[in-house]
Amino acid sequence: MRIDGWGAIVGMVGDVRQFGLDRPPAPEIYFPLAQNFVQRPHTGMSLVVSAMIPPELMAGSVLVAIRKVNPNQAVLKIKTMWRVIADSLSNLSLYL
């Protein structure tokens, strides 16, 4: 199935909370990498890596792999998932 001007629907995912765990999920669209850069170059992208080893032991290897594909690729905001969650919750006020 194609959505006019957006590309082809290739799958569906569950709710994603992109803007904080305290906010409801918003509609989300994922594009294949080629469509993302060709049709929507301003949207950017995130890379999420799952592994069985501590993240601090693999960050360097992931960066090396990215550099092999594109030595000029900007890599910003490297964070563990725990840090992403903590940052999402850091602005919440707790009322006792």
pLDDT for 65 equals 93
Residues 6 or more apart whose CB falls under 8 angstroms from that of 20 comprise: 88, 89, 91
Asked if residue 45 lies in contact with residue 38, where contact means CB atoms within 8 angstroms, the answer is no
Residue 39 has pLDDT above 60, yes or no: no
| Greater pLDDT, 50 or 10 | 50
Q: What would the pLDDT profile of 56-93 be if each residue is shown by its tens digit?
A: 898 899 999 999 999 988 888 888 888 888 887 777 66
Q: Specify the pLDDT at position 87.
A: 81
What pLDDT is recorded for position 71? 92
Alpha-helical runs (H) found in the chain: 33-39, 55-69, 81-89
Residue 45 exposure: Cα atoms within 13 Å on the Cβ side = 14
